[in-house]
Structure 1
Amino acid sequence: MGEYSNKVILVTGGTRGIGRAIAEAFLREGASVAVTYARSDDKARELEKRGILTIKCDVANRDEVRRAAEIVEDKFGDVNVIVNNAGVMYLMPLESYNEGLFDRMMGINVKGIIYTTLEFLPQLKRMKGVIVNIASNAGIGTAFEGTTYYAITKAAVIILTKRMAFELGKYGIRVNAVAPGWIETDMTTANRNPEEIEKTKSLVRSRTMLSITGVPEDIANVVLFLASDRARYITGQTIVADGGRIDYLTHGI
């Protein structure tokens, strides 16, 4: 029996990368786990074989999220914890603004959190549940080229976390965020050869106090803590897990 036995967990974007590591960590702790995903049917089937409920769902589509909430409730009952992990990142310089790509990032990275929270909110109220949003240190202002528009969406996640904690605290619902630094996942290594990936990792290591890069399990461990009763007195916070990045744009707020 693990720490999360008899608990129901939802992880959005849970078939790959950070989301998958989070889902698997909760499963190891005895939870009933459901994940939503937009693609990666093969990876979803892998998780299904392990007893994880997988639901194909575009979190930027509120109707699909509503359907996912109904499926989870029918299968497991009310959720105790929601991890809003689904996200996309399109790199583009400021002067190469692409409205379609920016809108897609806003739709998934920000509206996806809003829709998921609202559609599962009746369940969370009944369970006095927990929400953990996955933000990024980009939203606080790390100095990586091409991440300006992505950073805007993740800064929105950070303030949204604070506002959600403020408005939902009266129901006993805690809301926190984790802001990962560079984590080696499908998203951060997409369309790059091994030499390019190693070059990026070397750059990140040179910009961190610990001289290391992260893996998905590093973020999963923080999420498990924030979702647990050990964090019962913590809400409205963003925990930065980035190895101690030192390349922030300014010293001011």
Structure 2
Amino acid sequence: MSAAAAVRFTPTEEELQAMTRTVPGLTLPSFAVGSPARADEATAVSAGPHDPRLLLALGLQSLADGIVQTVSWSPGEVVRSSIAVTGVVAASVSRRDTASVSTREAGSSLEVALFPTARIAAELEAVVPAVDHGDAWCTGSRDVGVIASRAIVEAARHGDPLLVEEVAADLWVDADAAGMLQGLRARQSRGVRVRCFDGRSGRCMAGDDWFGSEHGWRRLRLGLPPSDSLGTTPQRLLDEATLSIAEATDEEIRRALTWLTATLLQAIAR
């Protein structure tokens, strides 16, 4: 398999369900095998023989050193993916669900891919939906308390800039942060969530969330208070948790995906 190569398969949900029953130790993401109600349909589907590369790609899901899980959505489409990483080889299982408001039709498709670890960032970039105004200037991140963030977004819904300025001033929130929070008042029609996990311990090592609207991309991160002798209570979470928000261009998202990939590979190489 060359550095740029990726081998792709398009099994049906019933075929994957049949394989999980007949291949010892094969465990797949829940989104790939569907609901138990459809399991009976899979009994009539033969589980083999299958391409050994397909079996390898599926088997990596339960043997990986690291896992990258993504969910992306845009009007009429949701894509879920799980990328398993072991050494120089990676494999993904993806499900694409589509729906049409005009025809009221819905559909889904599955894809399994086997590719070099060097392609992980490119595979992640492929799931990011396009945003019409996604090339806005990036102003850098701002940290705002959760309560203050909610207050500014609610003030912005009234459509009165002066009210937003007054609320921001009362809560000691700077103008740039208030401006970025105002962008969240619009319908967030697109989004991407990425989480990187240690495949051995299950610990989440890194992640990011992006939300897209007519105002472009916004990256959101939730900062929780440190664990200490004071303990974590609901009130402390409200008082001390922060929301880190930043405008993000398409290039900023690509750099972030590269950083997330590097963080995962560095962690599992130890």
- Structure (1 or 2) with the greater strand fraction: 2
Larger radius of gyration: 2
Return the TM-score normalized by structure 2: 0.27
- Structure (1 or 2) with the greater helix fraction: 1
Return the TM-score normalized by structure 1: 0.28
